[in-house]
Amino acid sequence: MTNNERVNLLKEIILCKFGEIALKGLNKSTFESVLVKNVKRRLKGHGSFEMWRAQSTLYVYPVNDDTDMDEVLDELKHVFGIVKLCRALEVEKNMESILNDPLDYLTEALEDAKTFKVDAKRADKQFPAKSPEICAELGGKILEKFPHLSVDVRNPDVTVMVEIREKYAFVHADSIDGAGGLPIGTSGRGMLLLSGGIDSPVAGYMMAKRGVQLQAIHFEAPPYTSERARLKVEKLAEEISLYCGDIAFHCVPFTDIQVALKDNCPEELFTIIMRRLMMEIAQRICEKENCSCLITGESMGQVASQTMGAIVCTDAACRIPVFRPCIGLDKSEIVEIARKIDTFDTSILPYEDCCTVFTPKHPKTRPILSDVEKAQASYDFEPMIQKAVENTRFSIIRCGEQTVNI
């Protein structure tokens, strides 16, 4: 068999390096199993794969030769729990193959580099050649084939890695960044209050990154808010689902409550009471759906309803924790994440949110809780809250689907 024929038979696999999971103690295997399940779900529709775990790495091995590895890599880049990803060539576990087969494969990684080094990892300690020998010999072969390169062991442009494993050896160049975080589902379930703005999709992404399985709730106030405003929010949910997985989406009819509020409560407390009522409804849906926390896109001091005093009044209406991962971020930092996760362009589409309907001219920035409670108690919102919960519409936003056009 010629060298070229042999190279054509070689297989490319993807190595997924686990992040923080690697540091877990006794629970490590539970975290890893959830991650593998998430990866399998994510790769459905992209072919069949064999997978195995070893030393905080998941080896994803395509069964069919026609698997589109670019697509697979793109999917895996969105899976939380993976910090680094790399494509690797599987070669026979003997020195001749290790020294010859990867040379063509490495062209793409090495042609634009100036310096490189070779590292070797021998999981199979029985393999006759020791690491320094593997590195020196493959390094020599690489220098022969790519004479423009020189070796730099301290700060190379590219590190070529040889891994000697149980059945095969794998050779790869540098890895790319994965999504980081913890596997979705390892930190329980949370209900994201999703508006059409920039902040709440980012908040959802940040909590999902820490392993929270998201559901989303959106309050709409037709005819003050349009169908397009709701579609915009569904589109945002689709966009974050690329990272967060399928999202159960609850859409709450909020018009009657807002009108009653406007007619019966002091204008300057309108927003704060509205937010307390949103929290109340969201918590009732959390109970039904077994979600243990609320998540919002609030950031300290960003607007009147997000001052310390306003947040104190909002939280007083909450029986479960409210997580606000954007609380300490500046708008520009939130925008940076929104751009990274590709929600920004949708978020800035100019459709109104129910929060902007009937906004008071002079909202209280330092509301007193007892005043707020008294004002809220002056009207019986309970029947309306119950009706809003009953009439909440439910749908599922499927991971990575792009169905909404606005």
Is 388 strand, coil or helix? helix
Contacts of 259 (CB under 8 A, 6+ apart): none
Q: Does 353 bind Mg ion (CB under 5 A)?
A: yes
Tokens 């209050």 locate to 193
Quote the least distance from Cβ 195 to Mg ion, whole Å. Answer: 4
Q: Contact at 8 Å (CB) between 135 and 170?
A: no
Quote the least distance from Cβ 146 to ligand ATP, whole Å. Answer: 50
Q: Which does 303 bind (CB under 5 to 8 A by kind): ligand ATP, Mg ion, none?
A: ligand ATP
Q: Which does 163 bind (CB under 5 to 8 A by kind): ligand ATP, Mg ion, none?
A: none
Q: Which does 14 bind (CB under 5 to 8 A by kind): ligand ATP, Mg ion, none?
A: none
CA atoms within 13 A on the CB side of 28: 14
Give the residue closest to ligand ATP by C-beta: 197
Nearer Cβ to Mg ion (14/214)? 214
Quote the least distance from Cβ 278 to Mg ion, whole Å. Answer: 11
- Return the biggest CA–CA distance within the chain: 87
Specify the stretch interacting with Mg ion by CB under 5 A; choose among 19-27, 131-139, 279-287, 348-356.
Answer: 348-356
Q: Does 298 bind Mg ion (CB under 5 A)?
A: no
Quote the least distance from Cβ 345 to ligand ATP, whole Å. Answer: 14
CA atoms within 13 A on the CB side of 270: 21
Nearer Cβ to ligand ATP (88/247)? 247
Q: Which does 171 bind (CB under 5 to 8 A by kind): ligand ATP, Mg ion, none?
A: none
Q: How many CB atoms lie within 10 A of CB 215?
A: 28
Nearer Cβ to Mg ion (136/335)? 335
Site residues (CB under 6 A) for ligand ATP?
193-195, 197-200, 217-219, 296-298, 302-303, 305, 353-355
**What CA–CA distance (Å, rounded) separates 330 from 378?**
37
Nearer Cβ to ligand ATP (164/354)? 354
* SS3 per-residue string spanning 215-241: EEEEEECCCCCCHHHHHHHHHHHHHHH
Binding to Mg ion (CB under 5 A) within 18-47 occurs at: none
Q: Contact at 8 Å (CB) between 281 and 193?
A: no
Quote the least distance from Cβ 184 to ligand ATP, whole Å. Answer: 19
Q: Does 204 bind Mg ion (CB under 5 A)?
A: no
Nearer Cβ to ligand ATP (85/194)? 194
**What CA–CA distance (Å, rounded) separates 195 from 236?**
9
The first and second tokens of residue 250, run together, are: 């609850």
Quote the least distance from Cβ 74 to ligand ATP, whole Å. Answer: 27
The first and second tokens of residue 86, run together, are: 């790399």
Quote the least distance from Cβ 356 to Mg ion, whole Å. Answer: 7
Give the residue closest to Mg ion by C-beta: 197
Q: Which does 151 bind (CB under 5 to 8 A by kind): ligand ATP, Mg ion, none?
A: none
Contacts of 96 (CB under 8 A, 6+ apart): none
Quote the least distance from Cβ 297 to Mg ion, whole Å. Answer: 7
Nearer Cβ to ligand ATP (79/294)? 294
Q: Which does 36 bind (CB under 5 to 8 A by kind): ligand ATP, Mg ion, none?
A: none
Binding to Mg ion (CB under 5 A) within 172-201 occurs at: 195, 197
Backbone angles phi, psi at 13, to 5 degrees: -125, 170
342 DSSP assignment: T
Specify the stretch interacting with Mg ion by CB under 5 A; choose among 8-16, 53-61, 347-355, 363-371.
Answer: 347-355
Q: How many CB atoms lie within 10 A of CB 282?
A: 25
Q: Does 220 bind Mg ion (CB under 5 A)?
A: no
Sequence-separated contacts (24+) of 257-261 with Cβ below 8 Å: 257/381, 257/384, 257/385, 257/388, 258/221, 258/224, 258/354, 258/357, 258/358, 260/379, 260/381, 260/384, 261/358, 261/379, 261/381
Strand pairing category for 57-62 and 158-164:
unpaired
Q: Does 225 bind Mg ion (CB under 5 A)?
A: no
Q: Does 280 bind Mg ion (CB under 5 A)?
A: no
Nearer Cβ to Mg ion (195/215)? 195
Alpha helices by DSSP H, 163-226: 199-209
Given the rule CB under 5 A, which residues bind Mg ion? Answer: 195, 197, 353
